[in-house]
Amino acid sequence: MSETTFPLAKVAISLDDRSYDIHIGQDLLSRSDTWDHLPKAQTAMIVTNETIAPLYEDALRRAICPHYKQVHTVVLPDGEAHKNWQTLNLIFDALLSKGCDRKTVLFALGGGVVGDMTGFAAASYMRGVPFVQVPTTLLSQVDSSVGGKTAINHPLGKNMIGAFYQPVRVVCDLSTLRTLPGRELSAGLAEVIKYGPIADMAFLDWIESNTDALMAQDPAVLAHAVQRSCEIKAWVVGQDEREAGLRAILNFGHTFGHAIEAGLGFGVWLHGEAVGCGMVMAAELSHRLGLVDAALVARLKALIVRAGLPVRGPVIDAADNAGHYIDHMRLDKKSVGGDIQFVVLDGPGKATVRGAPDAMVRDVINTCCA
């Protein structure tokens, strides 16, 4: 075994009859036995995008072909700007034109956009077909592929149209991270960092000690980051599958971040970039609410800078930037009766969901924006 080869790790998502495992390891995608014991079907459909298809579609096809009589592929345009009805319909067009039935297994090969759309298509096609997540970015391996959130964007808000629908398996092939551009790696680190302040300060300590190795894509360090992130998310999702309470803490930084994405236009900032900046805003709000000290805010901000992420928000509207953010945040899924609910730190390693005065939110935005 080479020094960059690791044994397979499994993290269980415990959801009664919807339970499944996350498989984590090197070179999993191309192994036929990775795909053993999936639901029986005659047909599979690989859903990928134009960037990932040339890299990994052929290897996945060869690996799953022994399990299915027919394997089809649909290649989507790449990027958050294409996470919409028009692109979703390309999946339905492919499924219908190939005569796929309700046992057809979909394989989501790509990052978070591919995973979210494939899951939504699987939830909707013939009222539900099985699907497998094969995430190829760090962000999708540590966050979006796990937990069954599926959605597309609306011009007024991110992930506003979708469904909770669990995959039957998640396969995190760490070797796919070798082709990840540096900007995408940093975006993924935002979701890794998130787990520390909301749930595990020891993990935050570890991230701080290993940031340089993570940025250098050290395989062993990335393996631990993916596994620990999945363990934390599995624990949260196992207690609150449909985000009735606890699961909302996983949206730390996302309320501000989604406003950045929607305000600028989807795809201008990567999701992880917006979340990284959004965590700075959320931590600053936590401090102003008297929940954490300034030292924790500074510590988190310094780590986000080291991860290569922005810590100052963009000016979306020069006339009333804070108002523009707030308008978008009122459409956040956590909002109740138009009142924005924020995920804030309730001390080191703890998070909660609560409102905040508009004047305080405005001041945070004005302070944290360029």
Catalytic: 328?
Answer: no
Half-sphere exposure (Cβ direction) of 180: Cα atoms closer than 13 Å: 30
- Point out the catalytic residue in the list 72, 82, 254, 288: 254
- Point out the catalytic residue in the list 233, 288, 301, 324: 233
- Point out the catalytic residue in the list 72, 194, 247, 301: 247
Cα distance between residue 203 and residue 195, in whole Å: 8
Catalytic: 127?
Answer: yes
**Residue among 129, 123, 133 nearest 163 (CA):** 123
Cα distance between residue 169 and residue 304, in whole Å: 31
- Point out the catalytic residue in the list 243, 261, 273, 284: 243
Catalytic: 254?
Answer: yes
Catalytic: 287?
Answer: no
**Residue among 37, 165, 39 nearest 101 (CA):** 39
Catalytic: 243?
Answer: yes
- Point out the catalytic residue in the list 251, 284, 299, 301: 251
Token pair for residue 290?
Answer: 């008297």
Sign of CA dihedral 237, 132, 106, 42: negative
Catalytic: 271?
Answer: yes
Cα distance between residue 51 and residue 38, in whole Å: 27
- Point out the catalytic residue in the list 271, 287, 299, 328: 271
Catalytic: 251?
Answer: yes
Per DSSP, helices labelled H in 200-248 are: 201-215, 219-239
Strands ordered across the beta sheet of 169-173: 9-13, 20-25, 169-173, 131-135, 105-110, 43-49, 70-76
Cα distance between residue 223 and residue 8, in whole Å: 10
Catalytic: 247?
Answer: yes
The answer to whether 45 and 74 have CB atoms below 8 angstroms apart is yes
Q: Which long-range contacts (CB under 8 A, 24 or more apart) does 12-18 make?
A: 12/234, 13/146, 13/147, 13/166, 13/234, 13/237, 13/238, 14/234, 14/238, 15/166, 15/237, 15/238, 15/241, 18/148, 18/166, 18/241
- Point out the catalytic residue in the list 258, 288, 301, 324: 258
The answer to whether 90 and 74 have CB atoms below 8 angstroms apart is yes
Catalytic: 37?
Answer: no
> Which residues participate in catalysis according to the annotation?
127, 149, 191, 233, 243, 247, 251, 254, 258, 271
